[in-house]
Structure 1
Amino acid sequence: MTNNQSYDEHALLSRIAEGDEKAFTVLFDLYLGKLKPFVEKLSPSPADAREIVQETFIRLWLNRDKLPQVTNIGGYIFRIAANQYHMAVRRALLQDKTLDGFKTTIHHSANPTERTVRLNELQRLINEAVQRLPEKRRQIFRLSRNEGMTIAEIARALGLSPKTVKNTLFTALANIREYLAAAGELGLCWLIFCLAA
């Protein structure tokens, strides 16, 4: 079935609710092309956008029992995607805050010399990652991280919308995580710690 073919949407959703994977594939094909541009506008990171799209359809399948009651499937799918985006932003902001917790863990788990070396290495990697950010992204990250400013405060200070600040900060955090992960074991340890928080 293609977009140009007529179909009974309610019947399709009922089949999906019963676990019909072929019917779900039809729905996936119908909405993937519409959903991707929407998510890409929300998230400036292509990798994050792909993950949000995937998670949207996973959520749709896991909650398929609710589909027969849905009257506007397009709106329903887009709402799931928007929720997934906001959850991703919250996770990114939370992960940034756990950095201090990781430093505390290092402080209590190593001898003084090793502690100093590990903390210095971690800080060096973070500084390198921040320096590699584009100027505006770096500025917003530093206002949030170093100055402790909220998204609303940064938006007012820079004359930007809160959404723009949130998107930029989200991307900055993703860039830093990617840099730390590529740096080796220490970066990966921090990444795993953050994801588990």
Structure 2
Amino acid sequence: MSIYNPAAEKILLQKIAADDELAFKHVLELYKNNIYSFVVKFVYSKADAEEIVQDTFFTIWQKRDILPNIEHPRNYIYTVVRNKTYNYLNRVAKNKKLVAQLWANMQVESNNIEELSDLKDSEMLIQSGLRNLSQQKQQIFKMSREAGLSHEEIAEHTGLSKSRVKNIIVEILKYLRYYLSSNTIKVSISPILAYLFS
């Protein structure tokens, strides 16, 4: 996205409120990629993430009469998308504790992987490795490393035994260690390994 210009974007919102479709398309182009990147971190499904992005802009258009009162356009847009993402997670998640954890992560918008800002390929590489695993293993990894749940809590949420959860996590980490070391990237993978095996 270009440099944030709240005054210019407030004018765009005012035009949208006056049914200006070109202004709406302009705002969509400004935000759609960043919003998609935000949503997919929590939804992990490209199709569902795209649907949430579309629904976000549909809501903005549908409620365009309130736009002239918006003082901070970016904050408003991200509030809408956070709420849409939370509602999605609330629908699909079986346990509310996990949703609460993900919501907290959403609000902070940071985690250990994101803090490795100089390693632009790190998150992509880890996610690529995870996609090779079963849905169950992906879910358990996310619960453990991203939601911060204990083995006991994961066992409770999945219906597996605590020892089985522990064994699965060992299998996942062993695989990711192999995957990361087997894939050549331009940056050092040691900080990624430190994140995974800490």
TM-score by length of 1: 0.47
Of the two structures, which has the highest relative contact order with CA contacts closer than 8 Å and spacing of 6 or more? 1
Higher helix share: 1
Instruction: Pick the structure with greater CA Rg.
Output: 1
